[in-house]
């Protein structure tokens, strides 16, 4: 149990917080500020495009594999620089009025998202390089926990503080939290291995993909990464819409249960998943957690038949978020295991982009299924959508067992 006191894992909890903090500040919290200032919905809609760097971060990830800054090591140097820039950008954002300079605020949000996505690249690579196989699950769970806690701070807490302090002091406080994360980077341990970086930018662009595709079953493993959470993300794509329009809950009920219990259950699932993965091989975790997250949509199917039933809503929200936390922990551990430390920034960015593709495109498919078949059949289809990923886990059980 001494693993819980590992400097590696303590660092990853803090870096998970650092990774999650800017996301809401450049997204949902900024939208709330703009809405409170009376900006047109059309303008707010355009400004949401500031989040695009998160989807395209793999394009510049090779730069962070190729070049090493002259302080704090190959990964921590980049993390420290991105955190420093985020402190400045967060403070600057709080000093721009949405009412008078909305597009200037939008550019700051875009810059914040770009630097935040860059920080994510190197934190993911650092985690992959740092952790030995037995600690990958726990490291992934702590990273998810820190990330979710940070989103709560920069989301719900930021809105409460803004109501009492105003927006500029609120953003200053968030910048202070980011500055404290720089101390985590300062004291974080260096990975024991020091692989040779790519010799040129051209190598950094082509070698990561070549390295991955030369492995046995490479394309099938990519398909596993894509399909593993498909059932879960399909069911979650319209959860809020279902709870309001399909089951008849009001905004207060949805807010308290879906956000409050949802956050707690996700954190619980992520941490429990990490604890179990200290004892289990990777294959067992992927299979067990994948089966649980796939079956969790059945609780929403039951709720769709029962209608407005608060107790069943609590059960459904808890199960969906709890099993999603388990599945995310296992999938993150898989991505780390698949990365070559020499190219971990680029490979993790590419693999995470593949993993998130289902989430990006699940919404339109979910809407079409609901319109055609209704809510109950839609959630049963979500359960079925988890089967291909589980079959791929079973197909590669020997390889996944070797990866631990």
pLDDT at 224: 94
Tokens for 141, please give them.
Answer: 């769970």
Q: Where are the domains of the chain?
A: 2-190, 204-403
Kindly report whether the global pTM for this prediction surpasses the value 0.85: no
204-403 and 2-190 share a CATH fold: yes
Greater confidence (62 vs 244) lies with: 62
CATH superfamily assigned to domain 204-403 = MFS general substrate transporter like domains (1.20.1250.20)
pLDDT tens by residue, 97-132: 888 888 899 899 999 999 999 999 999 999 988 888
Quick count: other Cβ atoms within 10 Å of Cβ 400? Answer: 23
Among the listed ranges 112-126, 253-267, 284-298, which one has the minimum average pLDDT value?
253-267
CATH classification for the domain delimited by 2-190, as one of 2.30.30.30, 1.20.1250.20, 1.20.1440.230, 2.60.40.10: 1.20.1250.20
């Amino acid at each position: 149990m001494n693993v819980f006191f590992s400097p590696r894992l303590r660092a990853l909890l803090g870096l998970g917080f650092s990774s999650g903090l800017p996301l809401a500040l450049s997204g949902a919290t900024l939208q709330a500020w703009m809405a409170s200032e009376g900006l047109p919905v059309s303008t707010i809609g355009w400004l949401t495009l500031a989040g695009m760097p998160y989807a395209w971060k793999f394009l510049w990830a090779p730069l962070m594999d190729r070049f090493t800054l002259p302080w704090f090591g190959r990964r921590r140097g980049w993390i420290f620089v991105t955190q420093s820039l985020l402190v400045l950008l967060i403070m600057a954002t709080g000093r721009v009025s949405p009412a008078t300079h909305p597009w200037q605020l939008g550019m700051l949000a875009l810059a914040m998202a770009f630097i935040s996505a860059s920080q994510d690249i190197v934190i993911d690579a650092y985690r992959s390089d740092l952790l030995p196989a037995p600690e990958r699950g726990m490291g992934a769970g702590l990273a998810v926990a820190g990330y979710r806690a940070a989103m709560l701070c920069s989301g719900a807490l930021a809105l409460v503080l803004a109501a009492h302090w105003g927006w500029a002091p609120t953003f200053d406080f968030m910048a202070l939290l980011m500055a404290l994360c720089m101390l985590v980077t300062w004291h974080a341990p260096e990975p024991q291995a020091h692989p040779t970086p790519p010799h040129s930018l051209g190598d950094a662009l082509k070698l990561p993909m070549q390295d991955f595709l030369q492995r046995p079953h490479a394309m099938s493993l990519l398909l596993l990464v894509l399909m593993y959470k498909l059932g879960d993300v399909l069911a979650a794509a319209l959860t809020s819409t279902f709870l309001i329009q399909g089951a008849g809950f009001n905004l207060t009920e949805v807010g308290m249960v879906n956000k409050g219990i949802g956050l707690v259950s996700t954190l619980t699932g992520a941490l429990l998943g990490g604890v179990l993965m200290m004892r289990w091989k990777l294959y067992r975790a992927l299979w067990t957690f994948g089966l649980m997250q796939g079956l969790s949509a059945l609780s929403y199917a039951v709720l769709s038949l029962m209608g407005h039933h608060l107790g069943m809503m609590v059960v459904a929200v808890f199960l969906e978020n709890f099993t999603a936390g388990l599945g995310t922990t296992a999938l993150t551990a898989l991505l780390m295991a698949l990365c070559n430390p020499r190219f971990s920034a680029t490979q993790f960015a590419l693999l995470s982009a593949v993993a998130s593709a289902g989430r990006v495109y699940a919404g339109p498919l979910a809407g079409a299924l609901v319109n055609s078949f209704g809510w109950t059949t839609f959630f049963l289809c979500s359960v079925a959508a988890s089967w291909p990923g589980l079959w791929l886990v079973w197909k590669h059980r020997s390889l996944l067992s070797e990866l631990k």
